[in-house]
Structure 1
């Protein structure tokens, strides 16, 4: 299971359990809360009415004769989103023995209520209240009874009970519970969306980081992802810094080893020629050894210059300043740069350009150097008097620049080693290059998100192809 999904599930589990617990608590507390409020109101009402009827009860005639008319009134009152259309108080009064002497609903007149808790406890000077179902097994038929003593001085002479069905406030309970569940569900949905957004952000950042690590492991050009000023961004920068230090140390050791190996031959040739020049010799031999020193020195300079250029692009992880480049103009410039070499070798270039111009985003100087290296190789292996074909074409999302010569082609043993540093094949006449041109082209292609390949052409000779991505159309 991916880490983003694990975090999302863990987050939602915690939020879900917390929300479920709170919802259960709130929903469970709504009904008792409403009942407590109702009981509080009934206590006030019972005490008030008990005080009102005390004087009449002392004379044996309970008041409240007009209460019967109270329940017959037509009302329509909207309370907290619930419409009330019925008045449902019931009031009854018992004497000192618990016998009902007044009942606003005419349900229990003359009955002995002394065993009911509301009357029994009140007659003992305690708080009397009860909840009783009108229908057995049906909680919604419960009626709440709250009693208050009717006093003659300090003596209790009767009990007044106010009753109200719980069903009359059940609508408020149901409405409150429904709102709590709705808001709780909305909270869970919002929490899930927030969790999804956080998990997406984290998974996206980790994917970018893993892609960078995979590119580094594969030896590809890789720039650390911009992940902001957070822990993951700091981790990405730390990985990049560690990679730079480790690669820099290994690269420097390898570079010094290969450079020392490659400079041995020209240094030995210069040393030998210089020692011979210290002796007396004919003018022609003197000139020959002097030319050898100059050519070997030029070879060293070329080797160092090309090696420095290669080092620069190998250590570069991305383009510093990419700009739109017209490839047809770039190819014409590369051909113009090689004019003296083409003339010296008596080689011509056939330039094939597409009708519609092609543009890429890149570094013009690096691409010019890379294409110059490819053309230099083609000129070096092309037979005198032959023609090199330099073609530009679109291939799907890429622009492909191909350079084809009619030389001897690539021998099978060398095909896998062409892009090795310092590896080169002898050119016609025995001359050898530095072996740094193709590695340089490969690095430049990678910096531009492209690739380079060198293969034998079907019609003979060698074909080098540089593939560069075209900008996406808006």
Structure 2
């Protein structure tokens, strides 16, 4: 069974289960929902009838007055109403009125005159000043014989003088319940059929897209020239481009080309500065200019030296699959040594460095490379810290990793740069000098982290500044 068929079967099973679940819930909720809507209508009607009956109850004419005649005439009507496909030909209701003691003094069907209804829930609750309603089966064991009763108080000057109850048999609303269930079932079947057609179309499209990718991969593996398919959706297009990129990297062309181009670009600026300064120095400038241009030559030479050294180190680290000299390294001690080495740079910028170590944490790795990675993170924090600022370094246990977090209190990195800070030669102007660095420091940090089965990340801190983290597996963890 291919992947498209599997996806279609899984999709249809999930959809079918969801449809069954929804339909099943609706079928169980249809009757209660209609009963609730009916009860709400009965409440309104009962209160209206109670107001109409009040004058005749006060006058003692409730049994033979206009209210009784109007109810009798209404029961003789034939509405001839078609309601959502259900024909209604007669009036289905019963009204009875009790006095303050709960004794029936009026019954539209003359079934319970003189009976004591004070214990029935609809009457009893209204006599207590509460909302009264009940549902009673006329025939035990037959749910369809249930009758809903809703009561309303009859008042005179705010005082209770009687209770009017309005009854509606459930059998009169059962046709609407059945009709609603049939409509829902019909809609459910249509939904399942439409979903099946959509699933078939989706599976066919997926098979077509996968087959194009498969054919492209075969062409590449057999050395034939082929263009990656770019249709079939964004994910398939991205996958095709990823395959093309993988092909280029396996051939080694793009990697070498970009490496050389970036290196040439980064070396071009300091070399131009050195050549320009040398030309000026050849012309015997004044002593002040000579010292300034000589200092520029020295500065640019050191920059070139730094780029070359970092490039060589980065290239060496990228080729390694594991640390060459893996030993037990105390990260707390290594951090203290790094801070000591950068003490002059910290003093020059008047930056305070706070080191917080929860407990000694050891990792297994190359101490030189780990030190270089930590120094690069610290150098980056110093470069982007404001004069007189503070750098916070924390070493703590994070799940199965030792986490080194270095936070500066500078302006942070622009959002557009966050995804590129670990790329080779990508750099931002430093806070101290306004100049860009070699752009190789964080790239080396990421490669050292990868070499030690860890990871590195960089983000803006919610309270300001930037936060760089290096996570390394704790020795013996896992």
Name the TM-score class by shorter chain.
Answer: 0.3 to 0.5
TM-score by length of 2: 0.47
Q: Please tell me whether Structure 1 or Structure 2 has the larger radius of gyration of its CA atoms.
A: 1
TM-score by length of 1: 0.47
